[in-house]
Structure 1
Amino acid sequence: MFLKSLVDRNRKFVEAVVSLHEEGALEANTFVFDLDAFRENAKILKENADKFHLNVYGMTKQMGYNPILHQAIVDAGIESFVAVDWMGARLMHEQGYKIGHVGHLVQPPKGAADDLLAMNPEVFTVFSVHKARQVSDAAKRLNVVQPILLRVYDDTCTFYPGHEGGFHVDTLESSVREIQKLPNVEIVGVTSFPAMLFNESAGTVRPTHNFEVIQLAVEKLRRMGIVVKQVNAPGTTSSDVFELMASMGATHVEPGNGFTGTTPLATVQDVQELPAVLYLSEISHIHNGRGHVFGGGLYVDKVRGQYGLKARVGKDLAERDVELIPDDGIDYYGYVDGQVEEGQTVIFGFRPQIFVTRGQVAVVEGIHEGKPVVLGYHDQNGRVIQRGPRQ
């Protein structure tokens, strides 16, 4: 779905990756990032956030917690990151980057709170009084008071499967009174997910009902005398929706795919951010006349539902239909239709979630100056991969 935008708007990137693959500088099963475009996207996001008085937490699970990309985000003036889970927080902290938000989307398990609070996160989202008590107990052991966000919902909120949970807005006040008894946490705001989604009928991004519930929760907290410092509204976040989010009361945003120009809005219009990522593979072999393409990173985030996957093959970037293996299989390979040859470069343009794959990550600099250089190889957790002969 993102292939057309990738080729149309950043063809130099695609052509450079084909050349680097043919030279052996890049290999199959690699998510390749255009660092120049990525840096510009981070700058655009920061400038637009400042324009609408929004604070930014960078979400980098989609990028495999890559340290080169983390630094590019910080260089743009975005100082803090959001961790999708406690393991991601550890990876970013290990690299020396500031944790802004933990606990949302994934609640940390018991025993992890001490570790996370020692990272001094700006906010910690909780789904229950029980979890707030765990955080308070950990904060007491560390002699700190931890600011927390409450995740809120009602009976008609939108959830992705497995994302359910939080404080029901109808009984929010009673939960708040219980949490206020805890000595080492302070309620500073609310959140929910997804607060924004692509609306197929409108052909653009719209607030979900979850955002309305966030607004209602804010009103209730303020009536209880709580100073609401953070209204966190993640989901489908790019510069083009910042004005709308700010107008609805958001104070904090969490772009992830915004950094790479792969939000759903980019499939229907030229968003401000350029496409800055692609998935590189090659034709491994041919069986019964059908090309097999190396997998490992072929988890496709079908953010706009089911659609036919395509790829560009070879130097001439010929478009080919692609079939992935069923969901209950392992993506050792995919299938590429049409005339192909072993060893040919295969370029995909889909929305990645690198942290749930076996995909590798390579960052390339200097593409738009005609001097592309591969800065390094990392795994899906941002750790260095050594390529070439071992010493």
Structure 2
Amino acid sequence: MFLDMIQKRNPALIKAAAALHQSGSIPPNTYVIDLDSFEANVRALAKSAEANSVKLFYMTKQIGRSGFVGKTIQRNGIEKAVAVDIDEAFNLSKAGCKIGNLGHLVQPGKNQWETVLKQLRPEVVTLFSLERARQLSDAAVRLGLKQNVILRVISKQDFIYPGQYGGFLINNLESSIRELQLMPGINVIGATCFPVLQLNEAKTDFEFTSNLQTLLKSRDILANQGIEVIHLNAPSSTSCHTIPLIREYGITHGEPGHALTGTTPLHAYSENLTEKPCMAYLSEISHMDEDQAYTIAGGFYARSNMKKALFGDRLDQETEVHQASSENIDYYGSLKRDPRMNVGDTVLYAFRTQIFVTRSHVAFLKNADSKTPEVVHFQRRGV
């Protein structure tokens, strides 16, 4: 999906990945991240957010949710994380990273709220229901605390990805707020909805989904109930390109994930975006038959939309990718066999990923554009 753009905008990453794999410094089934470009992307995002008065929480699930990457992001200007689940929050917090938002994708369990409040101390907690709100409020009262929360809001007409359904229905929001205001351990300060942006059919730009109108309507409902709305969070494809767009609607917060590596959907089609693509997936040819070459896998993702891959000791040759069925475990990837292929050849893919659902490693490279690229951090199985 992103291979053409990496070839155009970051060929040094390809060259470095080939050299480090052939030397034995990086094993197959490893995501390689050009750390110099990654840090430049973070700085650009932080600068854009500051210029537009938008606050950012960084997302690490796509890139290996480690303390190393969290602290790297924080050093470059984005101070707090949004954690996909409590386990990611633990990983980041243990390394000294600050948690900005917890609960938007996966709600903590009923017996975990005191741990959330005592150990993780998020800036905000996103709530999906009155039941979870009561659990959080009760835990906060026991600890003598009051936790700021935002509400995930939805309407029946909104687009929501399968497996992510949930939230306060906009038609019932007024009555829900009245109940929430009676809970002494929480303080409602805003709302969120996802996804607010999607790539248009022409693949030329992002367009707003109906979810944006749900989010803006929730702001008015909250304000009419006497709540000072200071946090309006609109995640999805947050980037230097979209930050000014969401700010026009009064959005206060965004959550960049794929933009950190220059891999939002639009980055596959436009070479004029600020963030440089800086992540690829490295493997090698394991064995072959008459028609196909099989690559060591573990890091493929069902929504990757791969079309082709590079192969060879210098990654200077190209072949088609055979998409594997999502029903199968990705023990091997499959390429159209080419007579120039050899067992042990380096293979490089570039696609939209979620490293936290894979069995792959992550290698962070410095000086990719030099004669001496090096691995400065290797995260075994970047879960």
TM-score, with length taken from structure 2: 0.96
Identify the match of residue 296 of structure 1 among 281, 298, 315: 298
Pair 1:95-2:125 in alignment: no
Residues 35 and 69 of structure 1 are in contact (CA less than 8 Å); yes or no, is this contact kept in structure 2?
no
Structure-2 change in CA distance of 1:279 and 1:160 (3 Å): same
Using the TM superposition, name which of 80-89 and 284-293 deviates more.
Answer: 284-293
Distance 2:116 2:319 in 1: 46
Residues 124 and 148 of structure 1 are in contact (CA less than 8 Å); yes or no, is this contact kept in structure 2?
yes
Residues 366 and 372 of structure 1 are in contact (CA less than 8 Å); yes or no, is this contact kept in structure 2?
yes
Distance 1:336 1:381 in 2: 25
Distance 2:302 2:2 in 1: 11
Residues 123 and 147 of structure 1 are in contact (CA less than 8 Å); yes or no, is this contact kept in structure 2?
yes
Secondary structure of the residue that 2:242 maps to in structure 1?
helix
**Residue 321 of structure 1: how far off its partner (Å):** 0.7
Secondary structure of the residue that 1:346 maps to in structure 2?
strand
Partner of 1:23: 23
Secondary structure of the residue that 2:375 maps to in structure 1?
strand
The letter for the 1-side match of 2:79 is E
Structure-2 change in CA distance of 1:380 and 1:253 (3 Å): farther
Distance 2:62 2:232 in 1: 23
**Residue 259 of structure 1: how far off its partner (Å):** 0.3
**Residue 176 of structure 1: how far off its partner (Å):** 0.4
**Residue 308 of structure 1: how far off its partner (Å):** 4.9
Distance 2:68 2:372 in 1: 18
RMSD (Å), alpha carbons? 1.3
Structure-2 change in CA distance of 1:379 and 1:236 (3 Å): same
Partner of 1:41: 41
Matches within 5 A, 1:49-60: 49-60=49-60
**Residue 368 of structure 1: how far off its partner (Å):** 2.6
Distance 1:204 1:141 in 2: 48
1:200-235 Cα deviation digits (max 9, x unpaired): 146311111111111000011111110111000001
Secondary structure of the residue that 2:62 maps to in structure 1?
helix
Distance 1:353 1:127 in 2: 23
**Residue 324 of structure 1: how far off its partner (Å):** 3.3
Structure-2 change in CA distance of 1:66 and 1:16 (3 Å): same
Structure-2 change in CA distance of 1:269 and 1:202 (3 Å): closer
Partner of 1:76: 76
**Residue 289 of structure 1: how far off its partner (Å):** 4.3
Partner of 1:358: 359
Structure-2 change in CA distance of 1:93 and 1:154 (3 Å): same
Q: How many residues align?
A: 378
Partner of 1:218: 219
Distance 1:91 1:313 in 2: 35
Using the TM superposition, name which of 322-331 and 9-18 deviates more.
Answer: 322-331
Partner of 2:278: 276
Pair 1:114-2:114 in alignment: yes
Matches within 5 A, 1:114-133: 114-118=114-118, 119-133=120-134
**Residue 266 of structure 1: how far off its partner (Å):** 0.6
Distance 2:37 2:306 in 1: 27
Secondary structure of the residue that 1:368 maps to in structure 2?
coil
Pair 1:333-2:357 in alignment: no
The letter for the 1-side match of 2:80 is S
Partner of 2:178: 177
1:78-130 Cα deviation digits (max 9, x unpaired): 11000011111111112110000000111122112111122110000111111
Partner of 1:388: none
**Residue 371 of structure 1: how far off its partner (Å):** 2.6
**Residue 66 of structure 1: how far off its partner (Å):** 2.9
Stretches of structure 2 that go unaligned for 5 or more consecutive residues are none
Residues 190 and 230 of structure 1 are in contact (CA less than 8 Å); yes or no, is this contact kept in structure 2?
yes
Identify the match of residue 310 of structure 2 among 301, 309, 312: 312
Partner of 1:387: none
Residues 284 and 293 of structure 1 are in contact (CA less than 8 Å); yes or no, is this contact kept in structure 2?
yes
Using the TM superposition, name which of 60-69 and 131-140 deviates more.
Answer: 60-69
Structure-2 change in CA distance of 1:9 and 1:97 (3 Å): same
The letter for the 1-side match of 2:295 is V
Distance 1:345 1:69 in 2: 26
Identity between Structure 1 and Structure 2 (%): 38
Stretches of structure 1 that go unaligned for 5 or more consecutive residues are 383-391
Secondary structure of the residue that 1:5 maps to in structure 2?
helix
Partner of 1:160: 161
The letter for the 2-side match of 1:360 is H
1:321-351 Cα deviation digits (max 9, x unpaired): 1113311111000111132210000000111
1:183-215 Cα deviation digits (max 9, x unpaired): 110001000110111111463111111111110
Distance 1:316 1:359 in 2: 20
Residues 64 and 379 of structure 1 are in contact (CA less than 8 Å); yes or no, is this contact kept in structure 2?
no
Distance 2:246 2:310 in 1: 36
**Residue 238 of structure 1: how far off its partner (Å):** 1.1
Secondary structure of the residue that 2:309 maps to in structure 1?
strand
Secondary structure of the residue that 1:239 maps to in structure 2?
coil
Partner of 2:369: 368
Distance 2:303 2:316 in 1: 23
1:269-297 Cα deviation digits (max 9, x unpaired): 12110011100000011133421101000
